[in-house]
Amino acid sequence: MAGAEDGPGQQLELDEDEASCCRWGAQHAGARELAALYSPGKRLQEWCSVILCFSLIAHNLVHLLLLARWEHTPLVIVGVVAGALIADFLSGLVHWGADTWGSVELPIVGKAFIRPFREHHIDPTAITRHDFIETNGDNCLVTLLPLLNMAYKFRTHSPEALEQLYPWECFVFCLIIFGTLTNQIHKWSHTYFGLPRWVTLLQDWHVILPRKHHRIHHVSPHETYFCITTVLCLLEKTQSRVAE
Ligand SMILES: [Zn+2]
Ligand SMILES: [Zn+2]
C-alpha cells in the first residue's frame, strides 16, 4: 500500500526511519510528546479496569454456560453474529469520533482517551510495543458497566426470568467480548511477526480485522476504514470496490 505508514517491512526498518527523523514514527517530536502524557495514574486505571473486567467476564461466562439449553441454539447464533456486527460498527463510530473531534487539550478525556488515537496516526507501530494492560485498559473500562449489569441479573433474577432473557444476554455478552478485545485485535493487525497461527487464521478468514485491510486507514488523511474489529470491514471493502 503506497503511503501506508506501517507494514511488513516497516518494523524491521524502524531504526533507519527514526534516524532520518521523519514525519512519523517513534522519534517524531509529536509522538514523543503524546507518549509522555501516559501517566502512572492512567496506568493504575488500566490495571484496575483489566482485572475487574476479566473477573466479571469469567463470572458471567460461567453463569451463561450453566444456563445453556440446546433449544436456545438458533437464537444464540443470531445473537452472537449480531453482537459481533454491532461491536464492529461501534468500534468504527468511536474511532471516527476520536480521530475527527476534540483534541488532547480537552480536560480528562483529551489526555486519557483522545491521545492514544492521535499518537497512533503519528506512530502506528507504538501499539505493537504496548503491553496487554496498556492495549486493553480503556476498552475494559468501557465494558465494565454492562458486565456489572449482567452479573447483577445473574445474582438477582429467578431461573425462569433468566431462561427468557438467555438469547439476549448471549448477544450482549458477545458485544462485550468483541468490544473488550477491539484494541487487541487492532494491535494484531499491526503485528507482522510472531503472531500465533490461530490469530493469523482468524485474520485470513476475516473473523477479526485483517492486516492488509487496516493498512488502508493508515494512509493520510485517515478518513476511511474506521471499523477495527471484525466483519463490517468486509462491507467497507465491498463498498469501496463498488465506488471504484
Ligand atoms: Zn485512526
Ligand atoms: Zn491502526
Domain boundaries in the chain? 26-243
Ligand 1 centroid, distance to 65 Cα (angstroms):
37
Is the dihedral angle over the CA atoms 84, 187, 199, 48 positive or is it negative? negative
Residue 167 burial (CB count, 10 A)? 17
Residue-level pLDDT at 117:
87
Whether 173 and 82 have beta carbons less than 8 Å apart is answered as no
Ligand nearest to the CA of 226: 1
Ligand nearest to the CA of 214: 2
Residue-level pLDDT at 107:
85
Residue-level pLDDT at 198:
96
Please give the Cα distance from 154 to 164 (Å, whole number): 12
Q: Does pTM surpass 0.85?
A: no
Here the cell at position 112 is: 486519557
Residue-level pLDDT at 241:
52
In order along its 244 residues, the chain shows pLDDT tens digits of 444 555 554 444 444 444 445 555 666 666 666 666 667 888 899 999 999 999 999 999 999 999 998 988 998 899 888 988 898 888 889 889 888 888 888 887 887 778 888 888 888 888 898 899 999 998 999 999 999 999 999 999 999 999 999 999 999 999 999 999 999 999 999 998 889 999 999 998 888 888 888 888 888 888 888 888 775 655 555 555 544 4
Residue-level pLDDT at 116:
82
Residue-level pLDDT at 11:
45
Residue-level pLDDT at 2:
42
Residue-level pLDDT at 188:
94
Please give the Cα distance from 84 to 173 (Å, whole number): 10
Please give the Cα distance from 186 to 139 (Å, whole number): 12
Ligand 1 centroid, distance to 41 Cα (angstroms):
25
Residue-level pLDDT at 9:
47
Ligand 1 centroid, distance to 109 Cα (angstroms):
17
Ligand nearest to the CA of 92: 1
Here the cell at position 185 is: 485485535
Whether 139 and 180 have beta carbons less than 8 Å apart is answered as yes
Residue-level pLDDT at 47:
96
List the Cα angle 61/62/63 in 5-degree steps: 90
Residues around ligand 1, an ion, CB closer than 5 A? 99, 222
